């Protein structure tokens, strides 16, 4: 059987263990869970696979307790993607969103028959909060989305700016703030507005545990709201056993590994800083500094993001994200997830090995012109 090409593999959105590929496409914490946690869950694997999980209310309480909340303010789902669908179908009629963004929000809204008004981010993709507020008001949207740090750009909005946005948009039915990557920010959780959920009843905070805790295979995410009716409505959209027993056991054991998690986030930050520094040495790339565990880069010098993605896969068995199809970006952009420092160094070596075929000197001139 002939080897699959990059489009075939990428279109499967996972299951990459079936291929000889190093995944720099999807962003997860490569320093967590620790081996001790894997060993503990592994010893219980037969029991967990053979047992039904608890109800959503109980599992949600496991995620809520470390936040100082209850299951009435937190709903856990089978990944944040399940919650995106539920939120779009129930609380969104017209969504205002800055682009580029995580396209699942836009795609779900469109599939649910809702309007979307994109706000184009320019330059280095920094969000101009007052301008975005005017966009929301001018378009008469009933809902607004902020991803902080943003995906794919990695740009962070300060806590003060997010609070200003929330105050300005009190009249909306929904302001959705996705904090899935905030643990990896150089500022830690200080930009979080989790403590503002009771002050702003229209605020819903979304978090993917897959990203922060390195467990995409367990499919865990949660939404938080100070308005209990919102949480109850979201929970009603989720099947009674949408969370599997292994994922429940992970939440049960998580607090015992809190210090290891904090340490892992610092290691992720260091690895991402090293990745950004390494990408700056690649002559045909213009990387953007990131507060997430990934780096967006513009391919300069004549080649496209698709060209680079295909060559890395074909010649180096490395998969990165071609951002050419994302709203708000042209075909010149790629996003690379940060893995460990050692793996990131391997990626940089691979990228440098392709330099001769990526319009070398022309790219260097183009990259300098962009700065």
Q: What is the pLDDT of residues 189-237, one digit of tens each?
A: 889 999 999 999 999 999 999 999 999 999 999 999 999 999 999 999 9
344 vs 272: CA distance, rounded Å: 8
Taking the C-alpha atoms of 66, 26, 305 and 326 in order, what is their torsion angle to the nearest 10 degrees? -60
Q: What backbone phi and psi angles, to 5 degrees, belong to 253?
A: -95, -10
Average pLDDT rounded to a whole number, residues 247-260: 97
Specify the pLDDT at position 367.
46
Specify the pLDDT at position 359.
57
Q: What is the pLDDT of residues 147-201, one digit of tens each?
A: 999 999 999 999 999 999 999 999 999 999 999 999 999 998 889 999 999 999 9
Average pLDDT rounded to a whole number, residues 312-329: 93
Average pLDDT score over the chain:
93
11 vs 35: CA distance, rounded Å: 31
Specify the pLDDT at position 369.
44
Specify the pLDDT at position 364.
46
Domains located in the chain, CATH noted: 6-33+259-370 (3.90.1150.10), 54-243 (3.40.640.10)
Q: Residues, the chain, total? A: 371
Q: Taking Cα atoms as reference points, which of 314, 345, 299, 327 lies closest to residue 95? A: 327
Q: What is the pLDDT of residues 345-365, one digit of tens each?
A: 999 999 999 987 775 544 444
């Amino acid at each position: 059987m002939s080897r699959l090409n990059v489009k075939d593999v990428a279109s499967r959105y996972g299951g990459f263990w079936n291929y000889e590929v190093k995944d720099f496409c999807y962003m997860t914490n490569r320093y967590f869970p620790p081996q001790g946690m894997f060993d503990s869950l592994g010893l219980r694997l037969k029991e967990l696979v053979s047992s039904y999980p608890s109800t959503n209310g109980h599992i949600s309480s496991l995620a809520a307790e470390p936040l100082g909340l209850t299951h009435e303010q937190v709903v856990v789902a089978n990944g944040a993607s399940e919650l995106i669908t539920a939120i779009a179908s129930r609380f969104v009629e017209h969504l205002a969103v800055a682009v580029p963004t995580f396209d699942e929000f836009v795609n779900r809204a469109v599939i649910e028959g809702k309007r979307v008004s994109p706000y184009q981010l320019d330059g280095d993709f920094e969000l101009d909060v007052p301008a975005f507020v005017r966009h929301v008001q001018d378009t008469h949207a009933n809902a607004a989305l902020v991803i902080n740090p943003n995906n794919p750009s990695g740009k962070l909005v300060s806590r003060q700016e997010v609070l200003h946005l929330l105050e300005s948009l009190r009249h909306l039915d929904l302001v959705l703030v996705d904090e899935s990557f905030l643990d990896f920010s150089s500022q830690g959780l200080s930009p979080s507005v989790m403590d503002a959920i009771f002050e702003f009843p229209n605020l819903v905070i979304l978090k993917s545990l897959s990203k922060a805790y390195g467990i995409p295979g367990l499919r865990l995410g949660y939404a938080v709201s100070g308005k209990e009716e919102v949480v109850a409505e979201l929970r009603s959209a989720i099947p009674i056993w949408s969370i599997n027993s292994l994922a429940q056991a992970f939440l049960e054991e998580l607090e015992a590994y809190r210090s290891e998690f904090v340490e892992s986030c610092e290691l992720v930050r260091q690895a991402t800083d090293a990745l950004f520094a390494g990408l700056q040495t690649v002559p045909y790339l213009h990387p953007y500094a990131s507060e997430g565990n990934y780096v967006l880069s513009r391919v300069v010098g004549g080649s496209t993001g698709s060209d680079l993605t295909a060559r890395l896969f074909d010649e180096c068995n490395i998969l990165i994200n071609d951002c050419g199809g994302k709203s708000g970006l042209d075909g010149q952009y790629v996003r690379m997830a940060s893995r460990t420092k050692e793996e990131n160094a391997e990626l940089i070596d691979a990228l440098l090995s392709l330099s001769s075929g990526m319009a070398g000197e022309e790219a260097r001139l183009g990259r300098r012109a962009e700065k």
